[in-house]
Amino acid sequence: MSHRPDPTIKTRLLLRPVKSSIGTIRLGGINQGGFGIGRPPDRRRKLTCYGFTYIMNGTGVYSDASTPETPVSKGDLVIFFPSRPHQCCTRPGEFWDELWFECEGPAFDLMRQTGMITPKRPLHHTQDSDFWFRRFFQIIPPLHLREKTPPEVIVTRFFAVVTELLAGNESAEEAPAPASEGWLTDACELLGTHEGVSGLEPEVVARRLGFSYESFRKKFRDAVGIAPGRFHLDSRIDRAAALLHQGRLTIKEIAAQLEFCDEFYFSRCFKRRFGQSPRAFRRRVRGTA
């Protein structure tokens, strides 16, 4: 039986399972330029554990015994259930990037028993794919911290991220926040750096919202837990992580685009937030130098 050549660049995030009394993350990784699982003429896949795949780029389809062929794309979380044959793949001639985990144990069984995850709804869409990519990626500590981090902490982080994503997804149709908190939503939006939009300096945001800077800084810190300057910097670093994953720009170009004074200052800020240099981060997520 002949096999199609697999063009996928595969980066393993775990060299061995993270085992704890509440659950185990058996495997985790990033596949770039792949075509997924179960694309004809291949058979549908059947796992012995739970699987979680986050689509970072590209489009494709998902189906199983009770879910007809359904489009999936960037920002979709796909949940696979034990012993349930499925396909999750691109269309012929197309490829995508995905971040994936395989898990098992009491915590994941409880999620299913309580209906938090259910085979009736294997697909969940998110709006801010950069944010959720970062949240999932940060579950696994950098190598220099991994041995010092209890496995229960890593598994709990995974559980928390999935819970937060699903809770936000379920509440998408709820009423908006009261007008009294509208300033905070506006402040976060103005401070944050998103795709194609650079965040504003805190002093500028304070003026736009009608606060003195000191009043704004205190109100923001009380509400969010960090100063607006730190929020603004962190959002730029988070965007940098997404750009490093995309791989289209050099580190120097990313630093310039995000308005850091130079590449070296950018690298110090990035390492303070992620525990590793931009170059090491890029090797980890892209499998390249």
How does pLDDT run across 181-239, given as a tens digit for each residue?
578 888 988 998 876 678 899 999 999 999 999 999 999 988 888 899 999 998 898 88
What is the pLDDT, as a whole number, of residue 131?
A: 85
Tell me which fold the domain 9-161 belongs to: Jelly Rolls (2.60.120)
Is 177 a residue whose pLDDT tops 90?
no
Residue 96: in which H helix or E strand, if any? strand 96-104
**Mean pLDDT, to the nearest integer, of 122-140?**
88
Task: Determine the Cα–Cα distance for residues 248 and 233; give it in Å rounded to an integer.
Answer: 22
Stronger pLDDT, 286 or 18, i.e. the higher one: 18
Instruction: Kindly list the domain boundaries of the chain, sorted by start residue.
Output: 9-161, 179-286
List pLDDT tens digits, range 97-111.
999 999 999 999 999
pLDDT of residue 171: 41
- Taking the model in full, what pTM does it have? 0.66
- Residue 212's Cβ-count burial label (10 Å; 0-12, 13-18, 19+) is exposed
- In this structure, CATH architecture of domain 179-286: Orthogonal Bundle (1.10)
pLDDT class for 5, splitting at 50, 70, 90? low
Residues counted in the chain: 289
Q: Tokens for 89, please give them.
A: 């793949």
Task: Identify the burial level of 85 via C-beta atoms within 10 angstroms of its C-beta, where 0-12 means exposed, 13-18 middle and 19 or more buried.
Answer: middle
Confirm whether 9-161 and 179-286 share one CATH topology.
Answer: no
What's the CA gap between 220 and 222, in Å, rounded?
A: 5
